Amino acid sequence: MTRYPGHRIVSLFPGLDQTLQDSLLAAIESVLIEAEAERIWIEESPSHDLRVHATLPPVDAPEAPVVPIGSAPSAVTIRSSVSVPTTVADQAPAETCSDTESVE
């Protein structure tokens, strides 16, 4: 079997209902065509799962830099509190509460 350069997109494991497998493969193919894949192919692995591969066009966005975890800055934690005045509509009538001192 000739290997083509590309990316493995997804694996479908054996034992799927044939109708479900056909629908999944058709949907995956449709998405890859929409993403302008140059080539789409399926290989069977030694464990009999189907591996969908595709050669995708290059991405224009530059790759994100790799920053070692030890040198990465910590995320800033922002804490705030807000006081909201209670209105008469928010307060329960005193006769419905067993504890008239406070309402939770």
| Residue 92: closest CA among 103, 82, 84, 81 | 103
Whats the size of the chain, residue-wise? 104
Query: What is the separation of C-alpha 47 from the centre of its chain, rounded to a whole number of angstroms?
Result: 27
Q: What is the pLDDT of residues 52-86, one digit of tens each?
A: 999 988 877 677 677 777 666 665 555 655 666 66
Please report the pLDDT score of residue 34 as a whole number.
92
**C-alpha separations of 90 from 8, 19, 98 in Å:** 57, 56, 17
Percent of the chain with pLDDT over 90: 35
Whether 98 shows a pLDDT value over 90: the answer reads no
Measured CA to CA, the distance from residue 55 to residue 40 in angstroms comes to 7
Please report the pLDDT score of residue 24 as a whole number.
94
Torsion of CA 27, 28, 31, 36, to 10 degrees: -140
